[in-house]
Chains A and B, each alone.
Chain A
Amino acid sequence: MSENGTSHGISRRRLLGGAAAAAAPAAIGLSGLLSGRGPGADSAVASGTPAANGHAGHGEFPHATFAAGPSVDHRANGFHPTELLRDFDYGTTRRLASGRVVREWEIVAHDKEIEVAPGVKYEAWTYNGRVPGPTLRAREGELLRIRFVNASEHPHTMHFHGIHPALMDGMPGIGERRGGGQIERGEAFTYEFDATPFGLHLYHCHVAPLAAHIARGLYGAFIIDPKDGRPEADEMVMVMNGFDTNFDLANEVYAVNTVGFHYINEPIEVDRGGLVRVYLVNILEYDPLNSFHIHGNFFQHYPTGTSLQPSEFTDTIVQGQGQRGILELEFPFDGDYMFHAHVSEFAELGWTGFFRVGDPSRLTPAAAAAAYCELPWGGGKA
């Protein structure tokens, strides 16, 4: 939303005679009077009480939230961010004579109104009626077939990040004569390619205007597990996205998995000491960067998930659009731990949530000290 001001052509200090004229009319004869705060300003505003400088508004709601009002109608949306988090779509499989596994999905593009923040409706374009689209999950080396049906009013494609022939790239202008390329409304096409390389990828529509087709909601995570899998963990998908609800090329609502502040209202429950694996994808349109930061903890970062060795032990990473990575962490203490974009603007416009570890009421100093003793690096110190 940072460009909001400039896109309306309003600078912060300019407008005594502009929009603020509703409150402060500038009579021509008084123009000087109204032009700002002269030497006598102190006497005029001295009535500002000390409370005006305090953080009086923070009492009931200690951070930006929609908690004051009703929540989003997830039933009408047809998807629930809490369920979507751990919802992996493995499709259907069958084995070829050669012994190779074929994994198949059908994805239908729909136009659908969704509620992205309480009371705020957005005319989204969706894969299978949800934003983000289903998290497609396969295993390295399988043959993948994704039948795409376009039931939207607009032409779309499915463009997968991966290694595949040009015809399977979901790219308008390539392969229309063979039924691929841009898929017009009412048409269908089956993408077919090998599941490679293993890692965390994504898919999205690639029809022009590209920014609009992505921003409308046509994207999803695409996971290819390594042949031997990864260690057992509580796995979840977080697609960092945003919504430009007034179409001014800047987002009004930011989120992971679409609904702003959802995981504030419904913290993500995880076990203390258990391995948590987050598949984090950034598809945010209109802003160059997004980020993920965890409170009170660090995580191992596997960029793009294409290596089984983590590249960094950190608590904050930055991703450009299309970048993604796997995060692995354990929570040693009970309690609520915030996670959010370390772009404060995004955080306060919806991209903030909580992990709820064990029983938050057990977050007493004694319990924390006891838990600390159990840590590999903290044993016996307490």
Chain B
Amino acid sequence: MEAGARAERDLGGRLPAWALGAIPLALIVVAIGGFALLGGPGLGERTGPPVEEVTVERTLLRPGEIELTLRNDGPDPVQVAQVAVNDAYAPFVASAGNEIERLGSTTLTVSYPWIEGEAYEIFVLTSTGGTIPVSIPVAAETPEADAGFYGLMALLGIYVGVIPVSLGMLWLPFLGRLGRRWMSTLIAFTVGLLAFLGIDAGLAGLEIAAAAPAAFGGASLVFAGALVAYLVLAGIDAHLERRRANAGSGASSGAYLALLVAIGIGLHNLGEGLAIGSAYATGALALGAFLVVGFAIHNTTEGLAIVAPLRGGADGEAERPAFSRLLALGLIAGAPAILGAWIGASAFNPSLAAALFGIGVGAIARVIVQLAPAMRDEDGRLLYPSTVAGMLGGIAVLYLTGLLVSV
């Protein structure tokens, strides 16, 4: 026992610390490299035919053309041979050649006189005779990503993000008149709203991940995104906490909580914008006054959630933030919808979208954890009739306003 410890000390004593770390690493590299070079000795040939897993990442329609972006999600290269649209072979050109390496992608431009409003079933036939099905439920031309298009997406983002959130913040003076007892209820209301948004974003992310290449993580991207966002925000939070403690200030201030809520909602709206943008780009989205009105009401409640902590500062006094600060909060919460719409409409990628939705979930979870202490009553309880009622109210309001956009 003692001898062993001494040997360890001797070994450690003779070699510098970095070498003790580097030697195993070097051996691992040599072992894996050798294994790969020898082609996995002893494992023999693979059994069964090559595995073909291809994901269709993007479908674009232009007059007389259908463009499919394929990604090879499986372990073996895939060779695209032919493409048939509605049971008719059609000529096509592959941007990066017909062979798709593992994790590689190619874009097929298929010549086909598609008709607006019709449904199309496409199959891509591979060299082994396998088929990759692609569905276009309703054909509509994909908008060109020009300045006018980005302008439209920005307007859309402002309509569904910035304006409703800012409108919701107009409740701040009203909140200032409310008594102390109402504060915790209001925070609970916000928590309810956020919980609903979080679940919403998580389910949306999982749904998108189902269509994303499994090799890039698929559904785990949603969870990884959530974890990353939660941990990063927690780290930032801990950092700021210490600075505040050094400065002699007490618990989380209302302004700080409001900022956190705005960030959480902003990340959620990024995902929402992404979905709107890509839906618009594929013609699946009908833009109309009713829809925008629905979103305005739906997202107005998010503005209320941001200003609630401003009313509920630790001292119980309503803070009077500058107008510019309110505007900044509104932009933080609403403007990501614009960015999301741009990405969604021009460079939609299901893996990225799933990760972004996950980030939104993590951010919201972190914000809920931050807000929760402000709900505590004199006895330190989190759940009591008025906070429970507040949370249920928040969930109910989002559910009901959500119906407005579920035409």
A contact residues vs B (CB 8 Å cutoff): 1-2, 4-5, 8, 10, 12-41, 43-45, 47-49, 51-61, 64-69, 116-122, 243, 245-246, 248, 252-253, 260-261, 345, 348-350
Q: What residues of chain A lie closer than 8 Å to B90, measured between beta carbons?
A: 57, 64
Is there contact, CB below 8 Å, between B63 and A52? yes
Q: A41–B290 Cα gap in the complex (Å)? A: 12
Q: What residues of chain A lie closer than 8 Å to B56, measured between beta carbons?
A: 19, 22-23
Main secondary structure of the interface of A (DSSP, over half): loop
B55 at the interface (CB under 8 A from A): yes
Q: What residues of chain A lie closer than 8 Å to B278, measured between beta carbons?
A: 23-25
Q: A119–B82 Cα gap in the complex (Å)? A: 8
Closest residue on chain B to residue A67 by CB atoms: B91
Contact of A65 among B89, B203, B211 (CB under 8 A): B89
B179 at the interface (CB under 8 A from A): no
Tell which of A52, A66, A253 has the most Cβ of chain B within 10 Å. Answer: A52
Is there contact, CB below 8 Å, between B405 and A23? no
Q: What residues of chain B lie closer than 8 Å to A21, measured between beta carbons?
A: 207-208, 210-211, 350
B119 at the interface (CB under 8 A from A): yes
Closest residue on chain A to residue B138 by CB atoms: A37
Contact stretch, chosen from B9-17, B24-32, B123-131, B182-190: B123-131
Q: A38–B82 Cα gap in the complex (Å)? A: 35
Q: What residues of chain B lie closer than 8 Å to A10, measured between beta carbons?
A: 121, 133, 135
Q: A20–B137 Cα gap in the complex (Å)? A: 8
Main secondary structure of the interface of B (DSSP, over half): mixed
Is there contact, CB below 8 Å, between B279 and A60? no
Q: A1–B80 Cα gap in the complex (Å)? A: 18
Contact stretch, chosen from B108-116, B229-237, B365-373: B108-116
Shortest Cβ gap from B108 to chain A (Å): 12
Is there contact, CB below 8 Å, between B141 and A47? yes
B143 at the interface (CB under 8 A from A): yes
Q: A55–B112 Cα gap in the complex (Å)? A: 8
Q: Which of B184-218 contact A (CB under 8 A)?
A: 197, 200-201, 203-204, 207-208, 210-212
Is there contact, CB below 8 Å, between B203 and A33? no
Q: What residues of chain A lie closer than 8 Å to B348, measured between beta carbons?
A: 23, 25
B291 at the interface (CB under 8 A from A): yes
Closest residue on chain A to residue B64 by CB atoms: A56
Q: What class of interface size applies to chain B in its complex with A? A: 35 or more
Is there contact, CB below 8 Å, between B286 and A39? yes
B80-98 contact mask (Cβ, 8 Å, vs A): 1 or 0: 1110100111111100001
B121-154 contact mask (Cβ, 8 Å, vs A): 1 or 0: 1010111111101111110110100000000000
Closest residue on chain B to residue A117 by CB atoms: B82
Is there contact, CB below 8 Å, between A40 and B59? no
Q: What residues of chain B lie closer than 8 Å to A55, measured between beta carbons?
A: 64, 113
Tell which of B113, B141, B286 has the most Cβ of chain A within 10 Å. Answer: B286
Is there contact, CB below 8 Å, between A25 and B81? no
Q: What residues of chain B lie closer than 8 Å to A37, measured between beta carbons?
A: 138, 286
A22 touching B129 in the complex, CB below 8 Å, given contacts A38-B291, A40-B291? no
Q: What residues of chain A lie closer than 8 Å to B130, measured between beta carbons?
A: 245-246
Q: What residues of chain A lie closer than 8 Å to B89, measured between beta carbons?
A: 64-66, 117, 260-261, 348-350
Q: Which of B214-273 contact A (CB under 8 A)?
A: 271-272
Q: What residues of chain B lie closer than 8 Å to A248, measured between beta carbons?
A: 131
Q: A349–B279 Cα gap in the complex (Å)? A: 32
Is there contact, CB below 8 Å, between B123 and A19? no
Tell which of B64, B92, B271 has the most Cβ of chain A within 10 Å. Answer: B64
B275 at the interface (CB under 8 A from A): yes
Q: Which of B26-63 contact A (CB under 8 A)?
A: 55-59, 61, 63
A51 touching B82 in the complex, CB below 8 Å, given contacts A21-B208, A22-B55? no
Is there contact, CB below 8 Å, between B119 and A13? yes
Shortest Cβ gap from B73 to chain A (Å): 12
A39 touching B288 in the complex, CB below 8 Å, given contacts A120-B129, A121-B127? yes
Shortest Cβ gap from B210 to chain A (Å): 7
Is there contact, CB below 8 Å, between A35 and B59? no
Given contacts A22-B350, A31-B406, A51-B64, list 9 more A-B pairs with CB under 8 A. Answer: A21-B210, A27-B275, A32-B407, A38-B407, A43-B286, A68-B91, A68-B111, A246-B131, A349-B84
B393-406 contact mask (Cβ, 8 Å, vs A): 1 or 0: 00000000011011
Is there contact, CB below 8 Å, between A44 and B88? no
Which 4 pairs, one residue from A and one from B, show the smallest C-beta to C-beta distance?
A40-B288, A245-B129, A56-B64, A32-B406
B7 at the interface (CB under 8 A from A): no
Q: A374–B287 Cα gap in the complex (Å)? A: 65
Contact of A44 among B64, B283, B290 (CB under 8 A): B283
B300 at the interface (CB under 8 A from A): no
